[in-house]
Amino acid sequence: MTLAAALAVTLTACGSAGGADGGRDTPAAGERGGKEPGADGAQKTDPTRIPGVGDSLHREIPEKSSQIVAVYGRGEDSAVATVRLFTKKGEEWTRERSWPAHNGRKGWTRDHREDDKRSPVGVFTLTDAGGVRPAPDAKLPYTASADFTPPPYWPKETRNDFDHVIAIDYNRAKGTSPLDPTRPQGQSKGGSIWLHLDHGSGTSGCVSISREGMRYLLRTLDPDKHPAVVMGDRAALAR
């Protein structure tokens, strides 16, 4: 595969704009990890756990991780989500920030496939970042390159999607640029699942947040704290 073709595959996998699920979550103000809004209001949880995350996924959180980006999808077939950053202090998780977000335009899946337009449910480490624009204050290894520029045929509203990205370590080689097309589980399992800038609607599988949110994550996520993401629709997260 030529470099140009590899880059095209990578960017296409992350996704152009498409049909939106519509609407945005409006998260509440910051709070400790003891409560998480649920269908029937506030639900008490153990402050030593990430709110809304059940035993199955909680066991997958790396023991060394003291920074967790939690992505709470509104529903299995929804593109609307909320991103929350949690920091572990002692044995307790504290919620630091929260941002409205979008995920795959068709929702979520536990068996992500190339071009299914759904985001993968699971726990994944966060080791590498990059983008069209430089981020000199980023703590994660950061690759600035014009190669992140979306193709010219993508809709206008997506032109700045990849100004900054954080690679989600789903089916990729850690320690490389987010543009690395390597797929350890094979091409059919998809890849190039990123946190990137939001264009106001669902993605092809990535998670998108505001520029302010992305800049905050780049300044805050620290390799020494072994950051990871826990992501999925609320029902899948709670199992």
Cβ-contact 67, 222 below 8 angstroms: yes
Q: Which residues contact 5 (CB under 8 A, 6 or more apart)?
A: none
pTM of the model: 0.87
- Burial environment of residue 18 by CB neighbours within 10 A (0 to 12, 13 to 18, 19 or more): middle
pLDDT of residue 2: 46
pLDDT of residue 12: 58
d(CA 159, CA 150) in angstroms, rounded, equals 6
pLDDT of residue 63: 95
- The per-residue pLDDT string of the chain (239 residues; one tens digit each, 9 = 90 and over) reads 444 445 555 665 665 444 333 333 333 333 333 344 433 344 567 899 999 999 999 999 999 999 999 999 999 999 999 999 999 999 999 999 999 999 999 999 999 999 999 999 999 999 999 999 999 999 999 999 999 999 999 999 999 999 999 999 999 999 999 999 999 999 999 999 999 999 999 999 999 999 999 999 999 999 999 999 999 999 999 99
pLDDT of residue 10: 64
Alpha carbon of residue 194 to chain centroid? 6
Buried b (16+ CB within 10 A) or exposed e, 175-193: ebbbbbbebeeeeeebbbb
Measured in residues, the chain has a length of 239
Written as six digits, the tokens of 78 are: 């929804």
Cβ-contact 32, 45 below 8 angstroms: no
- Determine the topology of domain 55-238 in CATH: L,D-transpeptidase catalytic domain-like (2.40.440)
Q: What SS3 class is residue 215?
A: helix
Written as six digits, the tokens of 178 are: 């987010």
| Alpha helices, H only, the chain | 3-14, 55-58, 211-220, 234-238
Cβ-contact 107, 78 below 8 angstroms: yes
d(CA 32, CA 42) in angstroms, rounded, equals 13
pLDDT of residue 45: 72
